[in-house]
Amino acid sequence: MKARVTVMLKNGVLDPQGAAVQHALGGLGFAGVNGVRQGKVIELDLAETDVAKAEVAVKAMCEKLLANTVIESYRVEIL
């Protein structure tokens, strides 16, 4: 079973990487980009076969390691 975790900075948290990408896009002539938020995607290959148990396990992984829950939010998808 596979899981995909998307981690993004919470709204209101300064995103300097996103600002740098937005600035670079403008410099390359891509007008009209009003905001960029940078995040990360983590794909996991799990041995678990029960969807509910897999989701609980991945959420625990996020809380303990994959996301800094003080400044980041995450979304778990079981594929």
pLDDT tens across the length of the chain (79 residues): 999 999 999 999 999 999 999 999 999 999 999 999 999 999 999 999 999 999 999 999 999 999 999 999 999 999 9
* In the block, residue with structure tokens 């990487």: 17
Contact at 8 Å (CB) between 13 and 71?
A: yes
pTM for this one?
A: 0.86
Number of domains in the chain: 1
Q: Torsions phi, psi of 56, nearest 5? A: -60, -45
- CATH number of the domain encompassing residue 6: 3.30.1280.10
Q: Which domain holds residue 52?
A: 2-78
Closest Cα to residue 39, out of 6, 4, 76?
6
Task: Give 36's DSSP letter.
Answer: -
